[in-house]
Amino acid sequence: TEGCRVLSIQSHVVRGYVGNKSATFPLQVLGFEVDSINSVQFSNHTGYAHWKGQVLTAEELNVLYEGIKLNKVNHYDYILTGYSRDTSFLEMVVDIIQELKKANPSLVYVCDPVMGDHGAMYVPENLLPVYKNKVVPLADILTPNQFEAELLTGKKINTEKDGVEVMDLLHKMGPDTVVLTSTDLPSKNGDQFLVALGSQKIGKPDGTNSSQKICIDIPKVDAVFVGTGDLFAAMLLAWTHHHPNDLKTACEKTVSVMHHVIKRTITHARELAGPGNRPSPAQLELRMVQSKADIENPATVVEAKVLQSSQ
């Protein structure tokens, strides 16, 4: 990771962990230089009773980028984006990525196309065509949940086979690496687990592609965490960097980091809340700093299964 630079365009909160606050520290711990543009600056995430703050406009985003460009330090190895709820902002992000990809053709864009979950959109519907037609075609690594993958491809996922087909459709749209971060598919290990699916296309020197498809069980925890999706995308960026042609290992390490952070968080939250009480959003903020050692060197807690590997 020596000299590896990431431009991360995400939300910022004063207190707690979401967006850039979820992504920056773990990436820095793993040796990446992280340049952050804060798409919003809020007092805390919006799951609390109150929140206050400012939203960056597309024009203000452009001004910040212009400053970076004037100093000729607009060279990045990675770009990371997450939640956005404004089409003009997202379109400005697209312009910036296109320009940075011209400056560095080997730049990798990691995109979490945050649009909704459990069958409901929580961003304006007019973002979908922007993601579909402009953002996803630029992405190299894409981390949708099941609902977002269905929105982008127009295909429902009821079986593992559907999941594999949806990932192939997403490959056709642009990204060589696709991870469906959570699905409603039943786990072989019972209902205490969520199933994630991954697919990676690897270009070979002779111009043909090989591909690897994997499935991985994620232990479920009975609580609502905020910022975990942002942590997932950041860790996938880091671990695919360290294991470029081995999605299985990258996903195992990513999910293991998540597991350690979430476990530490829920244990702490329950202690704070006391017996029989449900922890509050403030008590459920990710225990990120306390998990530094696990982020650097995650003990593997899950093994991914290879579904198919075509050579």
Per-residue model confidence (pLDDT) at position 204: 78
Per-residue model confidence (pLDDT) at position 260: 96
From the list 165, 145, 141, the residue with the least C-alpha distance to 155 is 165
State the catalytic residue, choosing from 77, 162, 217, 230.
230
Per-residue model confidence (pLDDT) at position 159: 95
Per-residue model confidence (pLDDT) at position 309: 65
E strand segments, 204-281: 209-219
| Alpha carbons 54 and 33: distance in angstroms, whole number | 26
Q: Which residues contact residue 113 at a Cβ distance below 8 angstroms, ignoring those fewer than 6 apart?
A: 131, 135, 136, 139, 142, 143, 144, 148, 152
pTM beyond cutoff 0.85: yes
Per-residue model confidence (pLDDT) at position 177: 97
Asked about 176 being catalytic, the answer comes back as no
| Alpha carbons 70 and 169: distance in angstroms, whole number | 39
Per-residue model confidence (pLDDT) at position 183: 94
From the list 212, 175, 235, the residue with the least C-alpha distance to 304 is 212
Cβ pair 39, 84 in contact under 8 A? yes
Ordered mean pLDDT values, 10 residues apiece, the chain (311 residues): 89 98 98 97 96 97 98 96 95 98 96 94 95 98 98 97 96 97 93 95 81 92 91 98 95 96 96 96 97 97 85 49
* 3-class DSSP assignment, residue 190: coil
Per-residue model confidence (pLDDT) at position 308: 72
Q: Which domains does the chain have, with CATH numbers?
A: 5-306 (3.40.1190.20)
